[in-house]
Amino acid sequence: MSTSIWSDLMSSALVGTDRRRLVLPGTDGPLATVLAALGGELGPDGLLSAAAAVTVARRAGQTPARTSRPEPATAETAPYASPAAQQRLAALLSGGSVELDRTTTRELAGEWLRVAADRGLLAGPAILVALLDLGSADTAARAAVRSVGGARLGWLALQGPGRWAWAVQQDAPAQAADWDTGRLADRVRYLTELRARDAAAGRDLLAQAWPQEKASDLAALLAACGTGLGPDDEPWLEHTLDDRRAQVREAAARLLGALPGSAYRQRMADRALACVHVADRRLVATPPAEYDDTMRRDGISAKPSTGVGERTHWLRQIIEYAPLDCWTAFDPTPAGLLSRKFDDTWGAVLRAGLTRAAITQRHAAWAAVLILDGIGRHDMNELRELAAVMPEQDLAELIAAQLRRKVDAVVRFLDVLPQPWPAPVADAVLECLADTERRRSGWWQLLRHAEWGFDPAYAGKARALHDSLPTADQQLLVRFTTMLQIRLDIHQELS
Amino acid sequence: MSEPTEPPWTAEQVQGLAPDASSFTAARKLAGASGWSATGHGGTPAGLWGLCKGSGSNPYQICIDLTEPAYRCSCPSRKFPCKHALALLLRWSSGQVADTEPPQWMTEWTDSRGSRAAKKAEQAAAPRTEAQERAAQRRAGKRAESVAAGIAELRTWLSDQVRHGIAGLDQAGYRPFEQVAARLVDAQAPGLAAAVRRLAPLPSSGPGWEQRLLAELSLLHLLAGAAANPDALPEELAATVSSRVGQAVTTEQVLAGEPVRDRWQVVGTRDDTEDKLTSRRVWLRGRDTGRAALVLSFAMPGQALPVDLVLGTELDAELTYYPGAAPLRAVVAARHGAPRSCPVPGPAQTVAQALDEVGAALAADPWLFQWPVLVRGVLAPGSPWHLVDPDGDALPLDPALAEPWRLAAVAGGQEITLAAEWGPAGLRPLAVYDGTEVSRA
C-alpha cells in the first residue's frame, strides 16, 4: 500500500512536479486521512507532505525481519591468559612506540603467542580479529595463532571473510577416504599414519594402488614409507629399482640408503670407495668416466642441472648416498679424514657430498666436524641443516667453545640454535660481553641475536652485568637488558 | 574507604575515556612498563594515585577521583585525561594496584576539589537582574524574525527541488546544500543548517540515493512547515521543533524540568567531528524506569570533552530532560554516590519491544534519527548483519558500517545484550554485554 504510493511520489519527484503531475489515488489504511487532506493533484509542497507522512509511517511501523541464527562457538577447554597478559598482547599488536619500533613489537607479539601456545593458554575473544589479521599477513605466525585462538578462532574464521580460511579448524584424523579421494598431501598423511601403525599394511596398500599412480605421486608416497622402514621392505624396494621411471627409482634408492645392512648401502659404499683413493696422504677423487645402467638402477640421476658438469654431478651423488661409515676405510674418525689435504680438482665436490650425506643420513659426529670445518664458508641453510642433525647439548657446547675463540665468525651461525639458547651458549655470551678488554668485531651483532636468543630468565644476570660495566659501556647493553626484561615480563604474565 | 566489592573498570571502559586512539595506545605501552611506584587505590571518595617515571627527573604525580571521574597529572600533556592517567587506570584494571591509604598529595587534591565545587555552586545560584532579563527578551525577538526569514527561504528551496526534479542532484556535489546551510546559519537556525548539511552526502551514497534523499527532504519540509507556525503545535511538540531548528535552551530551563532519578547505565559513547567541533554522545538507559537518555557535549579544537560518564558503569543520579515531545537529550542534575560497574545492563528488550519504543518515540518526534536500544539476541553475520532475538525476530545492522567482527568474536554466537543506536538505515552497535564484560564497538 505505502509502497505503491511511495513509488508514485518518487517518480514525480525525480523529474519534478512541473513535468509529471501527480494525482494520488484514493487510499484506505492508516495513512488515508493524512493523504486525503492534501487534496487531489499534488504540487511540490503536497508531494513533500505526502512523502513525509509515508516516511514516518514506514519508520515508525518497521516490523521485525526474520533470519536464521549462527551456530554458537563451542566452549573453550583451555584456560585464558591472565588479564595483564591480555593487555600486553593488545599493546604489542597495536604497533610501535617511542621505545620499540614496530618490527620489534611484532616480534615480541610472536614471542607472546609462542609462549602462550606452549603453555596451552588462550587469548581473549576481543583480540581474535587482530590475530586473524596478523596470521593472514604473516604465515609464520599461523600455527601459534591457531593454538592461542582456541575454538572461538576457528568458529570466527568459519563465519568470516575468505582471507581467514586458513584458521578454520581441520582437526579430523586422517580418514581412509583420504586415501581414495584426497589430495596428495592427505594421502601421504594417511599412508604415513598407517605405516607407523602397521608397516606391512601400508606396503600392501601402496602395492595395490601402484599401477594407477603417477610417477610424482609415487615418489611422494614412497617417501612416506620412510616411516616404519624395516628389513621386510628391502625385497620390494630392490624390485622397485627396476622401475622405468627415474623419480620412482630415486625415491626407492633413498629408502634403501636409510635401511641399515641393505645390499644397496654396500653397493654405494663400494662405488664411493672406488672413486676415492689416498696418494701422498692426499685424498684424490676419480669420478666415473661413464654413466652406466647400474648407476641408473641405484637412483643416481644422469643429467645435472645447468652449469654443473656431468662427472661432478655423479660424484656428488655417489658421495652423498654412500653410507658415511664406509670412510673408516681411510681414517678412523671424520675429523681425521677432513684434516687431510683434498684433491684440488674434486675436493670441493667431495666436501659438498659429505655435507649432504651428513644431513640426509642424520649423522651427528660427521655434522659436528663439518660445522667446525665450514663455519664462515657454508651457506646458512646448510649450516642450519647440519645443526639440526646434532643433539642440542653437543651443538651448544660446540658453539660456546667457538664463541670464546672468535665472536665474529660464529655470530652469524647463532641463528641455528634452538631458542632459548642452551645455558652453555648464554654463559659464553655473557663472558664475551663482560670482557671489555677484548671487545671484538661482531659484538654488536651478538647483542642483536642475544636479545632474542637468551632465555629471559637471564634478565637478572644481564642487568647485573650492565651495572658492573663502566658507564661508557653500559649504554651498549641498554637495549639488550630492556628486551630481556620485557620478555621476562611476558613469560611471567603468562605463567 | 571504597567499597571492596566494586571491581575495577575493564580495559574496554578505560579505552572509552581516552581522548583519542593514540593516547590509549601510548597508555597501554606505559601500563606495561617499569617505572611505576607508590600506586594505590582507596580513600574517600574512591580514588587512584601513583607516580610514573617520565622524561624529567621527578616522576609524574597522577591523581584520579573515580567517583566523577576526575583526573590530575603533573605531566605537561594537554590531552585529557593524559596517557599516565589512562595507564594507571589500566594497571588498576589488570589488578596491579593494591588497596591502601592515600598519601598526603592525594588527599590534598581531593580536598581542594571539594572546596572548588562548593564555590561554583554558589555562583550558579545567583539570579539574573531585571536589566539582564529585558536585554535577553529583546535579543530573542530579533532572533525570531531572522529565523522566520530563514525558514521561509528553506521552504521555497525545498519546494523548488521537487518542482524541478531531484534526479540531477547527484551531479551537483555538496555546493547547493552548502549554500542553503550557510544561509540558515546566518538566519540563526543552526539546527536546520545541520539538517541540510546531512543531506549533502546522500546523492553520492550509492544505489537508492533518490529514495533516501526524498525521505529526508520531506521530513525537512515537515519540520520547516511546523517551525513556520509554532503556535499551532502542542507545547511539547513546539519545544521539539524549536530545538530541531536550533534554538538554544539554557541550562536553567533544562534544570527546571522534573528530575528523573534512576540507576543510569552508560550503554554507549561515540565521538563525531564536524567542522572542527567534536561532539560526544553518551547514551544512557535507566535500569528502573527503562528510559533512554542522551548526554551530549561539545569541544572546540584543543578543548577536552568531559569524561565523567564511563561505558559499562551505572550511576545513581537525577537527570533532567530537555523539553520536547520525545525527551531524549538530558543533563545530569545530581549524582548520588560513585558510579558502579555494570556488567549486566537492563531491562533488556526484545526486537518487538525495541521497535515499539522507537515507534512511539517517532510518533512524538518524527524527525528522530537516533535512539538508543538495549536488545538481547544473537549477532548474525550476513549482508546485512542482523541481531536475532530469542523469538526469532531480527533487526538489521546499518550496512554502511564496517562489519562488527570484533563484537561477533566476543559474542561467539551466544546470546548477548547489544547496546545500539537505532537509525532508519539500521542499528549502529555501541557495545556488547556478554554477561561478564562490556566490549565497545
Q: What is the pLDDT of residue A378?
A: 63
Among A88-97, A288-297, B4-13, which stretch is predicted with the lowest mean pLDDT?
B4-13
Kindly tell me if the per-residue pLDDT of B5 is higher than 50. no
B236 interfaces chain A, CB cutoff of 8 Å? no
DSSP notation for B82-94: -HHHHHHHHHHHT
Q: Residue B11 — pLDDT band, cuts 50, 70, 90?
A: confident
Share of chain B above pLDDT 70, in %: 97
Q: What is the pLDDT of residue B294?
A: 97
Q: What is the pLDDT of residue A453?
A: 92
Q: What is the pLDDT of residues A396-452, one digit of tens each?
A: 999 898 888 877 778 877 878 888 899 999 999 998 888 877 666 677 888 888 999
Can you give the residue range of the structural domain that contains A40? 2-60
Residue finishing a domain among A199, A225, A259? A259
Residue given cell 533532567 in the structure block: B320
Cβ atoms A418, A385 nearer than 8 A: no
Cβ atoms A126, B440 nearer than 8 A: no
Whether A174 is covered by a domain: the verdict is no
B432 interfaces chain A, CB cutoff of 8 Å? no
Distance CA A249, CA A301 (A): 10
- Structural domains of chain A, count: 5
Distance CA B226, CA B232 (A): 8
DSSP B435: S
Residue B36 distance to chain A (closest CA, Å): 14
Mean pLDDT throughout A132-143? 91
Higher model confidence: residue B366 or residue B118?
B366
Q: What is the pLDDT of residues B214-243, one digit of tens each?
A: 999 999 999 999 999 989 999 999 999 999
Q: Which of B161, B362, B388 sits opposite A69 (nearest CB)?
A: B388
Whether A427 is covered by a domain: the verdict is yes
Return the number of other C-beta atoms located less than 10 Å from residue B158's C-beta.
Answer: 23
How much is the CA Rg of chain A, to the nearest whole Å? 35
Distance CA A475, CA B118 (A): 53
Q: What is the pLDDT of residue B79?
A: 81
DSSP A330: T
Question: B residues 359-398 near A, CB within 8 Å?
Answer: 359, 362-363, 366, 378-382, 386, 388-389, 392-396
Residue B103 distance to chain A (closest CA, Å): 26
Mean pLDDT of chain B: 89
Q: Residue B124 — pLDDT band, cuts 50, 70, 90?
A: low
Higher model confidence: residue B394 or residue A372?
B394
Distance CA B415, CA A447 (A): 51
Q: What is the pLDDT of residues B172-196, one digit of tens each?
A: 889 989 999 999 999 999 999 999 9
Distance CA A191, CA A201 (A): 9
Residues 6+ apart with CB under 8 A from A388: A359, A416
Q: At what angle do helices A199-209 and A184-197 cross, to 10 degrees?
A: 140
3-state secondary structure of A197: helix
Whether A8 is covered by a domain: the verdict is yes
Q: What is the pLDDT of residue A173?
A: 60
Residues A117 and A53 in one domain: no
Mean pLDDT throughout A238-264? 92
Residue finishing a domain among A390, A409, A430? A390
CB contact under 8 A, A73 and B439: no
Largest Cα span, chain B: 73
- Which grid cell sits at B183? 544561509
Return the number of other C-beta atoms located less than 10 Å from residue A451's C-beta.
Answer: 20
Residue given cell 538530558 in the structure block: B330
Q: For residue B386, which of A69, A59, A63 has the smallest C-alpha distance?
A: A69
The residue extents of the domains of chain B are: 11-120, 130-245, 251-341, 351-440
Residue from A15, A17, A58, A62 whose CB has the most chain B CBs within 10 Å, to mutate:
A62
Question: B residues 126-155 near A, CB within 8 Å?
Answer: 155
Q: What is the pLDDT of residue B3?
A: 43
Whether A158 is covered by a domain: the verdict is yes
Question: A residues 460-479 near B, CB within 8 Å?
Answer: none
Cβ atoms B310, B279 nearer than 8 A: no
Mean pLDDT throughout B65-71? 83
Question: A residues 53-112 near B, CB within 8 Å?
Answer: 54-56, 59-73, 82-84, 86-88, 90-91, 94-95, 97, 99
| B70-73 and B60-65 beta bridge pairing | antiparallel
> Does a cis peptide bond (omega within 30 degrees of 0) precede residue B234?
no
Q: What is the pLDDT of residue B6?
A: 66
Kindly tell me if the per-residue pLDDT of A203 is higher than 80. yes
Whether A72 is covered by a domain: the verdict is no
Return the number of other C-beta atoms located less than 10 Å from residue A264's C-beta.
Answer: 25
Residue type present at position A81: A
Buried b (16+ CB within 10 A) or exposed e, A205-243: bbeebeeebeeebbbbbbbbbeebbeeebbeebeebbeb
Residue given cell 645390499 in the structure block: A263
- Which grid cell sits at A377? 664458508
| B36-42 and B438-440 beta bridge pairing | unpaired
Kindly tell me if the per-residue pLDDT of B203 is higher than 70. yes
Residues A412 and A476 in one domain: yes
Whether A385 is covered by a domain: the verdict is yes
CB contact under 8 A, B366 and A52: yes
Beta bridge partners of A309: none
Whether A177 is covered by a domain: the verdict is no
User: Which residue in chain A has the smallest CA separation from B384?
Assistant: A67
Whether A78 is covered by a domain: the verdict is no
Beta bridge partners of B398: none
Residues A244 and A272 in one domain: no
Kindly tell me if the per-residue pLDDT of B99 is higher than 80. yes
Question: Whole-prediction pTM value?
Answer: 0.75
User: Which residue in chain A has the smallest CA separation from B93?
Assistant: A83
Cβ atoms B9, B313 nearer than 8 A: yes
Residues A330 and A225 in one domain: no
Q: What is the pLDDT of residue B1?
A: 39
